[in-house]
Chains A and B, each alone.
Chain A
Amino acid sequence: MRVVIEKLNKKFKDHQVLKDVSLEVNDHEVVVVMGESGCGKTTLLRCLCDLEQPDAGKISLDDWVVYGGQSKLSRQERQRYHRLIGMVLQNYQLFPHRTVLENCCEAPVYQKLMNKQEAMVKARELLSQLNLLDQADQYPHTLSGGQKQRVAIARACMLQPEVLCFDEPTSALDANTIEQLYPLIDSLKEKMAVVIITHDEAFAKKVGTRVVRMHDINPLDEK
């Protein structure tokens, strides 16, 4: 799936954050967007993942223009969009009252992509690939940062997205855990496109098939 962002604009009250930002992401590509704090990279990702409504511009997935002056997305369209684009939030935001397995199974069952039984089989398979099978019945508060992140990845992957976005995936991890992230992102690349927002230069160079500097795409971010 090809994601095209064209001339995206976003303003918070009087503060313009994004101005005519354009970006393309192709299938099986790991695009790393880099920039300093406050340069608008997280806002860009949030717009892409439908957590913020852009003021102007266009976002399209292949031929489907998701944003671009037309009326708001319907509930079904929005659900479809969230199935195609997944996101791992910075603090992972696992549901604390659900076990690891329940965290993974809830969305595909809710979206009627599979029944509970199928979801559990699929989730166990994914958790096993991520070395988390032993933690399947545990609650998130018992997990380490790296484990939580992998659960968040598994939860997002349960919807089989075409694009998976990461917001600062290394910010809460130690060096050893970051090392474990490289092969994981490599394996994700086989199945989908990956967009990563980070300010970690070394990480960006290592995982990215393409590194995009925010100041190159957002005129408001000065070099």
Chain B
Amino acid sequence: MELFWTLLPSFIAGLKVTLGYWSITLVASFILCLPAVYLCLHGVKPIQYLMRAYIYVMRGTPLMLQLMFFYFGLPYMGIVLDRVQAAFLAFILNYTAYFTEILRGGIQSIDVGQGEAAQLLGFSRTYTFIHILLPQALRNSIPSFINETLTLLKDTCLVSVLGTDELLRYARIGAGTYATGVPFVYVGIIYLLLNLPMVKGLNWVEKKLNAYR
């Protein structure tokens, strides 16, 4: 237990970084996926193809590869990003693609009659998307969003490949310094404890949104 108290300050520092990546990526990706899904479904054809290609690339390649490309690869093309910028770019682009795909599925699972009813009432396409389809799609997609949110929390440890001081990196340093695997167990427990309120909180949101089901 003494080891835990010794490592606690570095775990707290790491936790701040982990939660920073998690929360900013979550909010930014969620906001960006809304126009992205609109473009996927209602954009002009070339934009739709472009969006499909973007989603295919982001979902079809490992996140770690994307992190490494943005940090180590881009400088060869004359674009130099620091590790925080590269990490955020990779995370946000990757998770926006996943969220867009989840939301697209949510929208396409809605009865086409809902769109027709909106059309019969004279609603514009944009109004229908925002006020009629999106609220229903979000409700349909909540379980998938919860899964992705939890995955994102675990994925944040990938930034350690860029040398960022997050939770896992501190555990590795602690394990090396004190020649023990126990810091990894501590970090595992921290991740589990972080997940618990998130699952509970998101389930609560799901229940609230299901009031009209």
Question: Which A residues contact B (CB, under 8 angstroms)?
Answer: 49-51, 75, 78-79, 82-83, 86-87, 89, 91, 93-98, 106-107, 110-111, 139-141, 155-156, 159
Contact = CB atoms under 8 A, between A and B. Distances in A.
A51 B114 CA distance: 12
Interface stretch (B118-126, B188-196, B199-207): B118-126
B208 interface: no
A110 B212 contact: no
Interface stretch (B78-86, B131-139, B152-160): B131-139
Contacts of B132: 95
Given A75-B124, A91-B111, A110-B127, A97 B212 contact: yes
Contacts of A91: 111, 113
A83 to B, nearest CB: 6
A139 B121 contact: no
- Taking residues whose C-beta sits less than 8 angstroms from the other chain, chain B's interface range is 20 to 34
B2 to A, nearest CB: 54
A86 to B, nearest CB: 7
Interface in B16-37: none
B44 interface: no
Contacts of B211: 139
B139 to A, nearest CB: 7
Contact of A82 (B113, B114, B121, B136): B121
Contacts of A106: 121, 131
Nearest to B138: A97
A89 B113 contact: yes
A159 B111 contact: no
B136 A155 contact: no
Interface string B54-65: 000000000000
A110 B116 contact: no
A83 B127 CA distance: 17
Contacts of B111: 91, 93
B120 A96 contact: no
